[in-house]
Structure 1
Amino acid sequence: MSSNILQLNQVSKNYRIGAANLSVLRDISFDIEEGATVAIVGPSGSGKTTLLGLCAGLDHCSEGTIVLNGISLHELNEDQLAQVRNAHVGFVFQNFQLLPTLTALENVLVPMELRGMKNMKNKAMDLLDKVGLSARMNHYPSQLSGGEQQRVSLARAFANSPKILFADEPTGNLDAETGLLVENLLFQLNEELGTTLVIVTHDMELAAKTQRIIPIRGGAII
């Protein structure tokens, strides 16, 4: 029997703007099983990226509870959240977010160094090989195409052997052909390494490749 790696119970997120209270998410509840692939879909402004940030411990919810791999995120301070992210979570962003002064190899090494892992360089090189970038590992982000940069960010996302990987519009800045390559690599690595995958996207073709779709509109699940 699979256990749940992520549990949300009546989660809401509000922001104060002057005297007004802006409600971005309302009463979101769902569980995600360990090893599952899930897409959170919805139009721009629906709250899906905010939801992803809450699930990943990048922000606190205003109400409700979030439990990630048995850890109650809503009870943690910023330093504790950072420790949880480093130990359990991988990220892939639409705009790659590679460090421009580091080579592809050095970018992949960063999360490993934060965890003090052993045999780091060999593992980083192996991950770059898996995404087809062995020959580009000493190149800087500015010397790589968008698709190559996203493949480096994929290798980096899996570098700390995360229990769960969050991908925010992972193919949003890529052309169709390159996007398909990155999608295939994402699912391939995910299956190979046994990670839970949560993708935020408005691309229904990408969402259809996951085992489960959670639709969100106007800050609520529909």
Structure 2
Amino acid sequence: MLGGTSIPVLQDINFEIEEGATVSIVGPSGSGKTTLLGLCAGLDQPSSGTIHLNGIQLTGLNEDKLATIRNEHVGFVFQNFQLLPTLTALENVLVPLELRGIKVQEQTAKALLERVGLGHRSGHYPSQLSGGEQQRVSIARAFANKPKILFADEPTGNLDAETSQSIEDMIFELNRESGTTLVIVTHDLDLAAKTQQIIPIKGGRIA
């Protein structure tokens, strides 16, 4: 809303993603790609149209129902990691399991930290970890509840080139192993080229 006038962020967006596919949403800053990811993941609601996630219509659901669906079906990796600063690496990975009411499975969480090369840092807090290490913890957390769909919003945006390559390889490798559908928002065309499908966004529309 600007000066009493509603300005649409996205218009005439229509696409489907096949189960198990790898997809990138690309576009310049301000194009609406992060907003699109938020809509697809049930973090936001559209003013019109419908969204289906893993066969479930999200449109019109209240926040409690949306949160339940996200906890059961979705994993997230964000540019700024979004780890809880007062929890250790291990405790951060356990969060999705605890939100689903699953009995605490420390062995599962420890195995995931080992998988991302941080088994020896499980007792460390985010402030004690490098940016790359924090992103590895967030990847382990994202896969903890065995999501059907993983949404990654600029997952390497705050990392140097060498660390970015390592994180990219890890996301794709874990994705292949788990059969998860992968949706990446990125401005990095080299990263986008690694996915099976590219959805270019420009000015709030599919270009």
TM-score by length of 2: 0.98
1:16-95 residue pairs with structure 2 within 5 A? 16-95=1-80
Bigger relative contact order, structure 1 or 2, given CA contacts below 8 A and separation 6+? 2
| Alpha-carbon offset, residue 23 of structure 1 | 1.1
| Alpha-carbon offset, residue 116 of structure 1 | 2.1
Partners of 2:94 and 2:104 within 8 A in 1: no
| Alpha-carbon offset, residue 119 of structure 1 | 5.9
Match of 2:170 in 1: 185
User: Where in structure 1 are there 5+ consecutive unaligned residues?
Assistant: 1-15
Match of 1:168 in 2: 153
Match of 2:114 in 1: 129
User: Matched residues, percent identical?
Assistant: 73
- Counterpart CA distance in 1 for 2:12 and 2:144 is 34
| Alpha-carbon offset, residue 20 of structure 1 | 1.1
- Counterpart CA distance in 2 for 1:51 and 1:184 is 24
TM-score by length of 1: 0.92
Match of 1:13 in 2: none
Match of 2:185 in 1: 200
- Counterpart CA distance in 1 for 2:59 and 2:3 is 25
SS of the residue aligned with 1:40? strand
Which structure shows the higher strand fraction?
Answer: 1
User: Where in structure 2 are there 5+ consecutive unaligned residues?
Assistant: none
Residue-pair matches, total: 207
| Alpha-carbon offset, residue 115 of structure 1 | 1.1
- Which runs of structure 1 show a deviation greater than 6 angstroms over 4 or more consecutive aligned residues? none
Could you give the per-residue CA deviations for residues 55-82 of structure 1, whole angstroms, max 9, x where no partner exists? 0000100111100011110021111111
RMSD of Structure 2 on Structure 1 (CA): 0.8
